[in-house]
Amino acid sequence: MRRFFKVSLVLVALISLGLGVFLASVFRLPHFIPAQEVVKEGVKINVSGEEIGQLALTEQAFITVAEKVRPSVVHINVESTAQERYLPFEDPFFEDFLRRFFGEIPREYQRRIAGQGSGFIVDSDGYIITNNHVVQNAQKITVKLLDGRSFSATVVGQDSATDLAVLKVEKARDLPVVTLGDSSKLRVGQWAIAIGNPFGLDHTVTVGIISAIGRSGLAFGGPSEGPIYQDFIQTDASINFGNSGGPLCNIRGEVIGVNAAINPMGQGIGFAIPINLAKNVFKSLIKQGKVVRGWLGVYPQDIDERLQKELELPDREGVLIAGVIPSSPAEKIGIREGDVVRAIDGRPIKSANDLMIMVAAMEPGTKVKISLLRDKKDIILEAAIGERPAEDILAEGEAPGLRAPWRGITVSRITPDLVKRYSLQISEGVVITGVEPNSSAKSAGLREGDIILQVNRIRISNLEEFISSVRRVNPDEDVVLRIRRGRGYYYVVLGP
C-alpha cells in the first residue's frame, strides 16, 4: 500500500510538470494571464492572455527606458541680457519736453532675459550635450538634475552649423551618464522616446516612432556664418519648447538623437540631430575647442529631371559639380565642373546634402576614392580630404549691356560699380541686371546679381562672348546656364 502511494505521488508530479511545460510553450509568457473581455466603442472584444502579456512587456520597456535615462537628463536655465532703448522712437521735440520735466533720460538699458532648455550628461567628468540655440549668448547657466541637485555650467564649445553645444559642470560627483547609440542603423517605424523639459515641466517622457530620416533643407536652426549641416531625424514623439537639447532614445534606452526643433505649422512633427553627428562635434569641441570638418572644395547640386535631360545624363544618381574652388583638394585631383559624383569609397551619394555631410564627418588627411561620371564615362579619382577653411578665407553708373531682354533677363559686363552694387566676388562672365516678372528666367529662379559663366557648357568671359553664344541658341529649345550666386555655383535650365 505504501509503495502504491509513493508511485502515485511520482505520477502526479510528472503529470503536473508536463502540464506546466505544455502551458508555458502555448502561452510563451513569463506568467499566465487569463483572457479578458474588453469593451471598445460599445463592442465587446475578447483579448487573449498572450496579447495582454505582450502589451505588458512593451509597457515595461518604456518604464525601463524612463528609469534608465531620466536621471541623466538635465534642465538648463539660461540668463542673458539685451540692450534696449527707453524710447522706441527718436523725436527731438518729445525728448526735449521730457528732459525739461524729468532731467536727462538714459537712452538705453540692459534687459534681463531668461531662457530654458534640456541637455544630457555624456561623460562622468560632467560634459553635457545640448543645442547651441539653448545657450546662445548665455551669461549664466544653471543645470538641474532629476535628483534635485543644481550646478553652474560653462560653455566648452559651440557649433552653429549643426546647432550643437557642449557644457561642463565642475566638482560634481556620481553623475549618471547616458548610453549613446548608433543613428546610422535607424529605420523608419522604430520606437522613439523623447525626454526633456517642455514648458518647464521637468523630465517629461513622450513616445512615438521614427517618422523619417535624412531630412534637410529645413528653415530653422541657430544663426550660422557658414553652411548649415542638416540630417534630421523626424519623429512624432511630442516635442515642445523646452525639449531642445534633450535626448531622443530607442526602445533599448540608447540615445539616438538630440531633440532640436519642431514644425510650427503642424502637430506631431519634431526633429532631432542624429547622435552620430553629435558625437563627431562633441569629440572635436573637447579635443580642439572647435569643430574640424573635412573639405573637398566643390559646389554640389542635386540633379533634377530637366538637368538630366539637358546635360544628357543617363540617370539622376549622384550630384552634379557646379563649381570647384581653386587650390582645393578637388581641383588638385582634377575634378571639374560638370562632373557627377556617384560615390565615395563605395558609399552612394544620394544628394548634395549627403555629400556635404559625408565629407564633413571625415578626418582631414583621409584618403578616399571618388567615383565620377564624366562625358558618359565612369572614372575613379583618389583624393586626400582637406580641412575646411574659415568662411572669411573662402570668400573673395550703368554699364553697357544686353538691353533687349533675352528670355526675361538683361545682362551687363562687370564693372566696378556693379561689383559694389551686387557684392560680386569675381570679374569673369556677365552679370544679370534685370529679371522680368512672369518670364522663364523668373520661373527658373534667376536673380539680379547672378553671374552667367556658361551658356550650354560654353565658357563666357565677357559680354561679347555671351551675345555670340545666345545667338547660336535655338529659340524653341531649353538652354543650360552655369551661374555664380554669392559664393556658390549652380546650373539652371532656362526655357524658351
Domain positions in the chain are 179-288, 294-391, 397-494
Q: In this prediction, what percent of the chain has a pLDDT beyond 70?
A: 78
The helix/strand/coil state of 93 is: helix
**Which position has the higher pLDDT, 107 or 243?**
243
| Catalytic-role residue among 118, 133, 160, 339 | 133
C-alpha distances out from residue 214 to 177, 223, 458, Å: 27, 21, 36
Exposed, middle or buried by CB within 10 Å (0-12, 13-18, 19+), for 52? Answer: middle
**What are the pLDDT digits (tens) for 90-143?**
555 556 666 666 666 665 656 777 889 999 999 999 999 999 999 988 889 999
Q: What is the pTM of this model?
A: 0.67
The confidence score (pLDDT) of residue 440 equals 82
Pairing of strands 232-235, 270-274: antiparallel
Model confidence at 275: pLDDT above 80: yes
Q: Is the pLDDT of residue 50 over 90?
A: no
Query: Is 75 part of the annotated catalytic residue set?
Result: no
Q: Do domains 294-391 and 397-494 have the same CATH topology?
A: yes
- Percentage of residues of the chain with pLDDT beyond 90: 39
371 has pLDDT over 60: yes
pLDDT confidence tier of residue 391, bands split at 50, 70 and 90: low
Q: What is the pLDDT of residue 262?
A: 87
Count CB atoms within 10 A of the CB of residue 112. Answer: 9
Known catalytic residue at 8 = no
From the list 211, 244, 328, 469, the catalytic residue is: 244
Pairwise CA distance, residues 33 & 49, whole Å? 5
pLDDT of 335 > 60? The answer is yes
Query: Cα–Cα distance between 123 and 100 in angstroms, integer?
Result: 61
User: Does 163 qualify as catalytic in the annotation?
Assistant: yes
Q: Does residue 14 carry a pLDDT above 90?
A: no
Query: What pLDDT, on the 0 to 100 scale, is given for residue 399?
Result: 36
Cα–Cα dist 293/390, whole Å: 10
Nearest to 127 by CA among 278, 253, 274: 278
Mean pLDDT over residues 431-444, rounded?
A: 84
Superfamily of domain 294-391: PDZ domain (2.30.42.10)
At the top level of CATH, the class of 397-494 is mainly beta
Average pLDDT taken over every residue of the chain = 82
- CATH number (1.10.1840.10, 1.10.10.10, 2.40.10.10, 2.40.50.140) of 179-288 reads 2.40.10.10
pLDDT for residue 451 is more than 50: yes
Catalytic residue among 159, 163, 231, 354: 163
The residues near 387 (Cβ < 8 Å, ≥ 6 apart) are 292, 293, 294, 295, 364
Of 146-160, 257-271, 418-432, 460-474, the one with minimum mean pLDDT is 460-474
List phi, psi (to 5°) of 137.
Answer: 60, 25
Q: Is the pLDDT of residue 21 over 90?
A: no
pLDDT surpasses 50 at 332: yes
Q: What's the pLDDT at 220? A: 60
